[in-house]
Amino acid sequence: MADQPSLQFGLSVTPDAHDVAGMTALATAADTTGLDLVAVQDHPYQAGFLDTMTVMAHLGAITDRVRLVTDVADLALRPTPMLAKAAASLDVLTGGRFELGIGSGGFPDAVAGMGGRPARGAEAVTLTHEALVLLRHALDAAGPVQLRSGHHDIAGYEPGPKTPHPVPLWVGAQKPRMLGLIGALADGWVSPLNIYVPPEEVPAKQALIDQAAVAAGRPPTDVRRLYNVLGLIGDGRGRGLFGPVEVWAQTLATWSVELDFDTFIFWPVAAHLDQARRFAEEVVPRVREIVREAPRSAP
């Protein structure tokens, strides 16, 4: 059996223009408590949201070690060459701490309202396929980038700057053709929130990624698997995962061992800074302990 990817844990930070101090405090907490990732959603049509790529530059400047990932950047509103330029620039500015999550645009009407071209169905798959190929080529900075198609009209340019490390390309999706694309080409799958893709739906989706990876000549373990987890550590009820530390730890460990997730991004619904610290200092070590001791299936 191939080595399984190491566990990663991160925190979702909302790009809220009305709470820059809170956003900054959360990113700093993630950095200092040992979390692996800070994730930022990308919904520029929300009037109260800051631009995600600008937020990434800000968070990169105030942190030292935590990695930053878009969860996920909207391809329908961000031209692929400029997205590659932004990703390369952020990787340079952060010393190799940037990771790029992309999606075809989950809210087509909002995309159209900002002047973007919504992509649905087969168009979304084609757009994402082309973007993955272009982004990898551009981020590798190994020669001219050129593509003329229904979604891209790139006459040709020299990409750069060269990045300090290969920028991972994650894709947020949940439908079969997109999952197949992830298995064939992407570095990782970003699953929507646990309230939108509940655990019982995950195995079938993971299987589609695995099958596509094998068909493309890749070991399935080359594709990382990220679960966005909404909820609250402690007393309370609501949509998502609610319960004390041990419930969280046992649940995330089960989702890692049985559902093959290796990366978890926590989306706290309240008391965000306190929740972030509890997640990093209490939940994460316990999850690692449970997973380390869990029996693994034979090769």
For residue range 63-110, list pLDDT tens digits in order: 999 999 999 999 999 999 999 999 999 999 999 999 999 999 989 999
pLDDT at position 297 is: 55
202-234 tens-digit pLDDT: 999 999 999 999 999 999 999 999 999 999 999
For 108-129, what is the mean pLDDT?
Answer: 95
CA atoms within 13 A on the CB side of 194: 23
pLDDT at position 2 is: 46
Q: How many whole angstroms separate alpha carbon 30 and alpha carbon 38?
A: 7
Q: How many whole angstroms separate alpha carbon 240 and alpha carbon 233?
A: 11
Task: Copy the structure tokens of residue 49.
Answer: 């949201």
Q: How many domains does the chain have?
A: 1
The CATH number that applies at residue 23 is 3.20.20.30
109 CB-contact burial (10 Å; exposed 0-12 / middle 13-18 / buried 19+): exposed
Residue 299 in any domain: the answer is no
Find residue 172's DSSP bridge partners.
Answer: 190
Task: List CB contacts of 90: < 8 A, sequence separation 6 or more.
Answer: 53, 56, 57, 60, 68, 98
**Domain range holding 54?**
8-293
Residue 2 in any domain: the answer is no
- Could you give the angle at which helices 122-140 and 80-93 cross, rounded to 10 degrees? 40
Helix (H) or strand (E) holding 265: strand 263-268
Q: How many whole angstroms separate alpha carbon 54 and alpha carbon 58?
A: 6
Residue 116 in any domain: the answer is yes
Residue 1 in any domain: the answer is no
Whether pLDDT at 298 is above 70: no
CA atoms within 13 A on the CB side of 213: 21
Residue 252 in any domain: the answer is yes
